[in-house]
Structure 1
Amino acid sequence: MSGSDRLEASVIESVFDAVAETAPEIRAALPGRRVESDRENPSGETVMAADVHADELLEERIGLIDGVSGYASEERETVVDVGSEPKLGSESRYAVAVDPLDGSSNLRSNNAMGTVVGVYDGSLPARGRDLVAAGYVLYGPITTMVVATADGVREEVVTRGGDEGVERSVVRESISLPSDPVVYGFGGRVPDWTDGFRVFAREIESELKLRYGGAMVGDVNQVLTYGGIFAYPALADAPNGKLRLQFEANPIAFIIERAGGAASDGTEAILDVDPEELHQRVPLHVGNEQLVDRLEAAVESGQ
């Protein structure tokens, strides 16, 4: 293994060590932070106190990692210059993009939410093909972490380990999307869907079971577990959808592709979308390849 490969592997390992170590703290702090903060994110949305807390914890921990030069999150206007001298004498070149608390609007109703992480080889904003790893933490009945690298996709259970810190146990290795899809979940208001997407949705609802919880991480995890499709499509009043390319769409697309699925903005692969700015939004459709192909055809014919 070359020095560059060793640095990449070390950075990836360190990032997900930091995320796993921080996850129990994020979860433990949720009960006292179920209220709105006095801040708006760069997209103009009022953020929850839990969003702010999670972002601060993750920036602190990830910012200490050798080899990481930049930290960006959905809650910050610009990329934060972080890091110290990297290992192996190489230049810091990796940037980490984070959605600290995906689905935080679920706090009030006590439903699932998560943390999304993408590790890019290069500065941000970047194309999805520049990702070297991605993952997400799901704060469900148990805390799990899905990690995707060039070697594949795995799922871990993350628990507090007392004096020994956080314990991680791999519960699924070499994850692939099931070949027989079972579930679907579509975001946005039905009246705001485009004609092509509405036609596709009507077909799918007679074939699959609806699973939609209002947090992308939870909905995508259903697809990764049972097979199917998740989408937050283009809307009449939001032609670029709702999800952010750097923080949500690219990392999730990377995971789904590594698991044998497909991810599209409706016309091209998400990982091929050229970024124009850090907080760019994009329609997202991920899942079994045949379903994503059908969706693209329906969207194209409905335009």
Structure 2
Amino acid sequence: MSVPTRLKQETTSTPAKWTRLAIWIAVIVVAMAVMVFLAKWARGMEPVQQFLVAYPGHSELPEGAPVGLPAWLGWQHFLNAFFIVLIIRSGWQVRTTARPQAYWTRKNSGLIKTKSKPTKISMELWFHLSLDVLWMANGLIFMALLFVTGGWMRIVPTSWDIFPNALSTAVQYASLNWPTENGWINYNALQVLSYFAIVFIAAPLAIITGVRMSPIWPKGNAKLDKAYPMELARKLHFPVMIFFVAFVIMHVAMVLSTGVLRNMNHMFAARDDAGWLGFGVFALAVAVTVIIWFLAKPIFLRPIASLMGKVSK
């Protein structure tokens, strides 16, 4: 294909892309408007009002559940957000980079020795896998602290009424008459289900599918490959990433729209007030993440990667 022809096709397709985007935005806006209208209409019905009274939107916590958010959860919030953002970025680069600028090969020495030749992988994949390891290590610390301190009782459903309460919360949100936020003591049912899904379902799925797609998966083992096909891991890994992205967007939106200063203090300062300390810590965390985001390029990653293996073009 000649250059003029290709440029002509790209120019022609650009308006079509913007048109499709505009259509999707219009569809989403209309769907949200219809949802709000239906929720407000439903809240005017007596059975729905009785349902909202019976199920206000949160389940009672088990006896002995901790009150408040500990300091360790603050730095866990930062580390989890930091790693997830960079993992999503590096994962997208792995998926879309056609010609990597550099490659990395593990040193077949020290604690890790194999008979087979070490696999050469792109610098983007090396960065993605390195972040995965750090994120998993941080996750193990998080899980240990969660169960040792009893914090698991705040994000693990312990009663079946979590589901009608989640429906109640959804109706309240959709009708724009939001439930009272009291995350310092008890999350609402939708929050509990969301946090449970991200910690105990999405994170393990990301790990087990990522391991299957990574170079550490045993090569040439027909039984293992048949029991857990690569195609299955690929089909699951990308939707899990989309779920993480959707969760982050929704989580940030709700934090900003339901009392940003108090929420920031809950998340980053272990305080239940509307001061500016938590917001300041959050701003610093965002700055650090943005700086690393822009520095995560082969020219800066090569010196670090070379400490763990051989870097080549």
Bin for the TM-score computed over the shorter chain: under 0.3
Whichever structure has more helix as a proportion of its residues is 2
TM-score by length of 1: 0.24
Greater fraction strand: 1
Which one has the largest radius of gyration? 2
Report 1 or 2 for greater relative contact order, CA contacts < 8 Å, sequence distance ≥ 6. 2
Q: TM-score scaled by structure 2?
A: 0.24
